[in-house]
A and B are shown apart, each in its own frame.
Chain A
Amino acid sequence: MLNSKIPPGALENKWNDYKGHVKLVNPSNKRNIEIIIVGTGLAGASAASSLGELGYKVKAFCFQDSPRRAHSIAAQGGINAAKNYQNDGDSVFRLFYDTVKGGDYRAREANVHRLAEVSVSIIDQCVAQGVPFAREYGGLLSNRSFGGTQVQRTFYAAGQTGQQLLIGAYQSLERQVALGNVEMYARHEMLDIVKIDGKARGIIARNLVTGKLERHFGHAVLLCSGGYGNVFYLSTNALGSNVTASWKAHKQGALFGNPCFTQIHPTCIPVSGDHQSKLTLMSESLRNDGRIWVPLKPNDTRKAADIPEDERDYYLERRYPAFGNLVPRDVASRAAKERCDAGYGVGNSKQAVYLDFASSIQRYGQAEVSKRGLSNIDHAGVMALGEEVVKEKYGNLFDMYQKITGENPYETAMRIYPAVHYTMGGLWVDYELMTTVPGLYALGEANFSDHGANRLGASALMQGLADGYFVIPYTVGNYLADQLAVKSIPVDHPAFLQAEKEVSDRINRLMSIQGKQTAESFHKRLGKIMWNKCGMARSEEGLKEAIEEIRALKKEFWSDLRIPGIVEEMNPELDKANRVADFIELGELMCIDALDRNESCGGHFREESQTEEGEAKRDDQDFAYVSAWEFKGEHNWELHKEPLEFEVAKPSQRSYK
């Protein structure tokens, strides 16, 4: 049943051959073809603008008040590309290899290679749009390093790379809106897919201002709706990020790939109390210059600055000398948890480790002293110069830290702890990014395709833009070329009316519960179950308990939820309840998937499967497959396996020592 449609031939020729033979749609036919795009983050905005430029009639949807506010805007550290501008040994092959290895050999080789190939065009495109990446004094582009690699291939705009890339894509999108090629529907939430004769032909969306349901037709539907990290309630994602679009597609027959693969990011500001509504990331780029440590003595209550050098444990440098502070995220997160669980954590909660910039501030300060030929500078002077350099690189992150914690990170070491950040899992797609529902595609974080069991830093932006700018314009044509005879289907077709009725019935059901508990309180409880039992460490026992607890929570939700207000008006509580209902169902599937995968790989750590040193132990014999789950009915899924074959990047136990 699963056909990944990977083109034949040598790995490095697949994409070129594919492009050379793919079916095309001629310009006059494109004008009669309508495409629906749900989501206008990096994946959606880049797809909408590119397809609009090609002449398709595009309708794009987002739930924020403007496409420029999608969650992509918050990405901080950077975007990878195999440009090798630093002449440090990078290449398309190396980016491909690092990504497959970083994903712990659970991604598809062909997809990852294509991603590495198109990465170089992304940077060109963004610069042409006016994305102001960081530059060197010579006027050329600057690079930094991210975890899991030993080259400098990350392009960045201070700590606001996502913002700058999204503004570039947004501006291109708005240009197409002005030209009449794209119609933009902001403050709209897609609530179902409409299928006709088995193919995706449209969506039902709620206008979030009026509360009215709308029917929209498309020859194809692209879901670019982002990731589902908020199933954990607390995560680094924007508060509105949700799984609803993907979940509706799943219930309409799209298989869900590797749902349990979650990325826990090692460097986030720790939880401060029960009121907490989100967690804030401190970009991985900080690990270029910051050193991570805990006191050598357990339960040490001295201030960071009062603990002398020889009483500090730089545990990443100690355990992984080759990569040091720049090990991949899964490794760094588990190492932090290990230290805290063993009693070495810092801060009030003891659930934190230090990220310390003192030594790099001093190093940069000294470099400035010699660069400027200064003499007679005391220690404070050197540190002040160093602070300026650090400020230019990471200023916005330091400001953010200070605003949240009230502490000055230039003076005291930051306290950090891992937090949910990204979901590698998502809708299963083939090489063309099509789900198992014909005509329904998934792009960006919403699909499962390129990151295996652990995404390397700075590669989500790359993937979102690769999908939208450079992959979908080819692959969607291959499908649409066979749809030319299909006239636009009027939205009073029975399938549309039926789908709208089902959405409306569900909304009425939610509204009529009239119980006592808020959607938010259910979401928090779901998050706790997920974090404790399907978070950084997972066990058979815990997962089984979690599944039962989630089922009970679902029952309670549908019998005791309270939503004030009415349907046909703006009603944020209703929108939230709709999303939480889907998160609860997804949570169950994630636990089922984690239970099935009795191996550790990447971010998925099964306590039963570890080496003697406590490192994740992969099991290629039994688990070298993508788990693709088919929805069969309440609490009922069927597992399909897509075997993974590695012809070029031969799996080995990952080592960053």
Chain B
Amino acid sequence: MEHYNMNLTLKVWRQQNTRTAGRFETYKVSEVSSEMSFLEMIDVLNERLTSEGKEPIAFDHDCREGICGSCAMYINGRPHGPWHANTTCQLHMRAYKDGDTIVVEPWRANAFPVIKDLMVDRSAFDRIVQAGGYISVNTGNAVDANAVAVEKEKADESFANAMCIACGACVAACKNSSAMLFMSAKVAHLSLLPQGAPERNTRVVNMVAQMDKEGFGSCTFQGACESVCPKEIKITSIARLHGEYLSAGLTSNK
């Protein structure tokens, strides 16, 4: 891989806290190596700001390997930036060239209030899980792990949905700020497994109710969520959720 250095202009959303209004600030960063990750580029800028006595840009991050779901930047109009199936922390600077201007914003959604700069409050996701995103089994209750065979295909599909990292990119990409992709991934993960069957109906009904309560918008099947999902969760999971929701309604009407 050829390495190169570049000079960039960053326009970054700065907002002191939830109560105050925010604005864009412009920063020049020079000598950025194509081998850096996007967050390392921000680190360098932050070190500069800090040693000048200014407050560094606040952002969520932890694992920096695309799995914890902490990082969340809206980069040039796209959650997590230009690369397919990627998180902000895994974006590397070879995606850019000398002279580029990069606009960086937080996720924008009513259900995700800005805490500071690029950091938002995603606790709504935890509350949706509390509403039913689990299998009710106390520690010690389990039978032998191989007592129930699970079709490999179903187990694999369940896993593909369980890979969701709850970053919220789907919400940020959706013009209605819907959380359907996130929620449908959880519903699919659990309902595809025999262990999840007993709570299938209540789970989907309660989770949907909580989602509405949190102020997420409704899904109009535009597919923006699917195209930005770092874990490639498929929009077919949303179709599955609709099916589950309908059949839950039918069963409870009986």
Which residues of A line the B interface, CB within 8 A? 46, 49-50, 53, 64-71, 73-74, 83, 85, 121, 123-130, 132-141, 157-158, 160, 163-164, 167, 170-172, 174-175, 177-178, 184, 186, 209, 238-240, 272-273, 275-278, 280-281, 399-400, 403-407, 469-470, 473, 516-518, 520-521, 562-565, 569-570, 572-573
Contact = CB atoms under 8 A, between A and B. Distances in A.
A275 B134 contact: no
Interface string B27-60: 0000001011101110110010111011110101
Contact of A124 (B36, B83, B129, B144): B144
Given A69-B68, A174-B126, A277-B43, 14 more contacts: A68-B69, A68-B126, A71-B68, A83-B146, A85-B146, A124-B143, A125-B139, A134-B155, A141-B145, A209-B115, A239-B62, A469-B139, A520-B50, A570-B115
A163 B152 contact: no
B180 interface: no
11 contacts: A50-B138, A66-B126, A125-B139, A134-B155, A135-B152, A174-B129, A209-B115, A273-B33, A280-B64, A520-B47, A570-B115
A184 B129 CA distance: 13
Interface of B: 1, 16-17, 33, 35-37, 39-41, 43-44, 47, 49-51, 53-56, 58, 60-70, 83, 85-86, 90, 92, 94, 115-116, 119, 121-123, 125-126, 129-131, 133-146, 148-152, 155-156, 158-159, 162-163, 165-166, 189-190, 193, 195-196
Contacts of A64: 62, 68, 70
Contact of A570 (B58, B129, B141, B195): B58
Contacts of B130: 174-175, 177-178
Contact of B50 (A276, A399, A518): A518
Nearest to A240: B62
Contact of A74 (B67, B83, B115, B195): B67
A516 B53 CA distance: 9
Given A127-B142, A139-B149, A277 B40 contact: yes
A277 B64 contact: yes
Contacts of A572: 56, 58
B40 A276 contact: yes
Given A132-B162, A562-B50, A564-B54, A49 B155 contact: no
A430 B62 CA distance: 31
Nearest to A50: B139
- Give 5 closest A-B pairs by Cβ, nearest first: A139-B149, A171-B134, A128-B142, A406-B1, A132-B159
A406 B137 CA distance: 44
A53 B134 CA distance: 14
Nearest to B120: A65
B65 to A, nearest CB: 5
A344 B66 CA distance: 32
B114 to A, nearest CB: 11
Given A124-B143, A167-B162, A564-B56, A400 B65 contact: yes
B139 A521 contact: no
B139 A83 contact: no
A272 B33 CA distance: 10
A140 B69 CA distance: 30
A164 B159 contact: yes
A516 B51 contact: yes
Contacts of B121: 65
A562 B16 CA distance: 20
Nearest to B72: A65
Given A132-B162, A139-B150, A406-B92, A69 B195 contact: no
A69 B69 contact: yes
A146 to B, nearest CB: 18
Q: Tell me what chain B mostly uses at the interface: helix, strand, loop, or mixed.
A: loop
Contacts of A124: 142-145
Contacts of A66: 122-123, 125-126, 166
A130 B50 contact: no
Nearest to A572: B58
A55 to B, nearest CB: 11
Nearest to B60: A65
Contacts of A133: 145, 155
B216 to A, nearest CB: 17
B146 A272 contact: no
Contacts of A470: 139-140
A277 B144 contact: no
Contact of B195 (A127, A137, A186): A127
A85 to B, nearest CB: 6
B123 A65 contact: yes
A593 B61 CA distance: 33
B209 to A, nearest CB: 13
A280 B142 contact: no
B65 A171 contact: no
Contacts of A564: 49-50, 53-56
B146 A562 contact: no
Contacts of B16: 569
Contacts of B158: 130, 132
Contacts of B141: 128
A281 B196 CA distance: 33
Nearest to A280: B65
Given A406-B92, A569-B17, A238 B1 contact: no
Nearest to B86: A403
B122 A239 contact: no
B40 A238 contact: no
A407 B53 CA distance: 39
A121 B115 contact: no
A591 B17 CA distance: 42
Contacts of B135: 128-130, 171
Contact of A171 (B55, B129, B142, B149): B129
Contact of A163 (B39, B55, B67): B67
A565 B55 contact: yes
A178 B202 CA distance: 14
A163 B190 CA distance: 15
Contact of A130 (B92, B149, B195): B195
B116 A570 contact: yes
Given A127-B142, A129-B134, A139-B152, A573 B50 contact: yes
Contacts of A132: 155-156, 158-159, 162, 189, 193
A437 to B, nearest CB: 26
Contacts of A277: 37, 39-40, 43, 64
A121 B62 contact: no
Contacts of A569: 16-17
